[in-house]
Structure 1
Amino acid sequence: MATNEQLAEQLDPASTVLMTVECQQGVVGPDSALPELAKAARSSGALHNVARLVAAAHETGVQVLHAVAERRPDGRGANRNARLFRAAERLPVQQYSGTTAVRIAEGIDVADEDLVVRRLHGLSPIAGTDVDPLLRNLGCRTLIVSGVSANVAIPNAVFDAVNLGYTAVVPADAIAGVPAEYTPAMIRNTLALVATIATTDAIVACWKRPRRVVRA
C-alpha cells in the first residue's frame, strides 16, 4: 500500500481524475446480467466504496469520469472475436444503449460536471474511446481506476493508463471480480507492479488534508 506522503504527491485534485468502470445497473445492479459479479461488488463493499470516492471527488473538485459498456440492439460494431463477447450475447440482460441497464448504478451520484464515456466495442474503458484525449484536455496526470471487473476491464484500464503515461492508482477495496479471492491475487501479483495501490479511506483522507500553499 502507498504511504500517505506518496498519495499526497499523486492525488493533487487539479491533476487527478477518478474513473468508475462499468458501475452500471446491468452489471452491478439488482437485475445484473452477471449476478455473481454484482454480488461480489456489493458484498465486498467495493460498490459502496466507489460511491464514497465519487462523493469525495465531487466535494474536493476532482473530475469524475464514468466508463460505461453498452451495445446496439442490432449488435452493429460489437466484437465477436472472443468467447466472452459471444457469451455476453446470450445473457438474459443486455447492455443496450438507452436502457436502464446502462445507467449508473443507484447509490453513485452523477453530477452535472461528470463525464460519461460509452463504448460499443472492446474490453478496455480507455483504448479506442474518448477517454485519453479527454484526460489530456483536463490536465490529468493521475487516474484512479475503480469498479469492475478485476478479471478484465480493470487491468485493461490500468495497463492502458500506464502505457499512455498516466500514473494509475487502484483503490483495492473499490474494485471487484469473481471469484472473490481472485481480486486480491490480481492486485498483489499484477496491478501492484504497475499501479499505486491504496484504500478508499486513504484516498478520501488525502483529499481532505489541507494542502500547502506555495508562495512566490
Structure 2
Amino acid sequence: MPSYEQLGELLDPATTALLTVECQQGLVGPDSALPELAQEARDSGALANVARLVAAAHDSGIQVIHAVAERRPDGRGASRNARLFRAAARLPVQQLAGTPAVRVAAPIEVADEDIVVRRLHGLSPLAGTDVDALLRNLGCRTLIVTGVSANVAIPNAVFDAVNRGYTAVVPADAVAGVPAEYTPAMVRHTLALVATVATTDEVLACFERLRAGVRRG
C-alpha cells in the first residue's frame, strides 16, 4: 500500500477525478439484473465505500463522473460481438435508457456538479465515450476508479486510463465482482501492476488532510 505522502501527491483535488463505474440500480440495486453481483457489492461494503468516497469528493472539490451502461429499447448500436452482450440481452432486467435501471443507485448521491456519462456499446467507461475528453478538459491527471464489476468494466477502465496517460488509483474495497474471492486476486495480481492500490479509508484520510491543509492555508 502507498504511504500517505505518496497517495497525497497523487490526489491533488485540482487534478483528480473520481469515477464510479456502473453503480446503477439495474446492476447493484435491489432489483438487479445480476443479483449475485448486487449482493456482493452490498455485502462486501464496496457500494457503501463508493458512496463514502463520492461524498468526500464532493466535500473536497474533486470532480465526480458516473459512468452508466445502457441500451436503447430497440437495441440500435448495442454491441453483440461477445457472449456477455448476448446474455445481457436475455436478462429479465434490461438497462434501458430513461428507466430506473440506469439511475445511479443508493446510497450514492449525485450532486449538481457531477457528470453522468452514458454509453450504448462496449465494455469500457472510457473507450468510445466522452469520459477521456471530459477529464482532459478538467485538467485531470489522476483517476480514482470505483464500482463494478471487477470481472470486466473495472479492469477495462483502469487499463484504458493508464493507456491514455492517467495515473489510476483503485480503492480495493470500493470495487466488487463475482465470485467474492476473485476481486482481491484480480486487484493484487493484475491491477496492482498498473495502478496505485489503496483502501477507501486511506483515500478518505488523504482527502481530509488535503482539506485541512486548505483550511490552514
Shared fold (TM-score, shorter chain, > 0.5): yes
Deviation at 1:211, TM superposition (A): 3.0
Deviation at 1:212, TM superposition (A): 7.3
CA distance in 2, matches of 1:56, 1:108: 11
Superposed CA offset, 1:7-47 (max 9, x none): 00000011000000000000000000000000010000000
Structure-1 residue corresponding to 2:71: 71
Structure-2 residue corresponding to 1:211: 213
CA distance in 1, matches of 2:127, 2:61: 26
1:119-138 map, 5 Å: 119-138=119-138
Unaligned runs of 5+ in 2: none
Residue identity in the other structure for 2:143: L
Unaligned runs of 5+ in 1: none
CA distance in 1, matches of 2:204, 2:214: 17
Deviation at 1:3, TM superposition (A): 1.2
1:124 aligned counterpart, secondary structure: coil
Structure-2 residue corresponding to 1:168: 168
CA distance in 2, matches of 1:199, 1:63: 19
Structure-2 residue corresponding to 1:82: 82
Superposed CA offset, 1:82-140 (max 9, x none): 00000000000000000000000011110000000000000000000000000000000
Matched, 1:16 2:16: yes
Cα 1:212–1:113 change in 2 (3 A) is closer
Superposed CA offset, 1:119-173 (max 9, x none): 0000000000000000000000000000000000000000000000000000000
1:185-200 map, 5 Å: 185-200=185-200
Residue identity in the other structure for 1:211: G
Q: Structure 1 length as normaliser, TM-score? A: 0.97
CA distance in 2, matches of 1:2, 1:46: 20
Residue identity in the other structure for 2:213: R
Paired residues, number: 214
CA distance in 1, matches of 2:214, 2:143: 22
Q: Structure 2 length as normaliser, TM-score? A: 0.97
Deviation at 1:198, TM superposition (A): 0.5
After TM superposition, the runs of 4+ consecutive aligned structure 1 residues lying more than 4 A away are none
1:211 aligned counterpart, secondary structure: helix
Residue identity in the other structure for 1:156: N
Q: Alpha carbon RMSD of aligned pairs, Å?
A: 1.2
Superposed CA offset, 1:42-72 (max 9, x none): 0000000000000000001100000000000
Residue identity in the other structure for 2:176: A
What is the percentage of aligned positions where both structures have the same residue?
79
Residue identity in the other structure for 2:139: G
CA distance in 2, matches of 1:212, 1:137: 24
Structure-1 residue corresponding to 2:6: 6
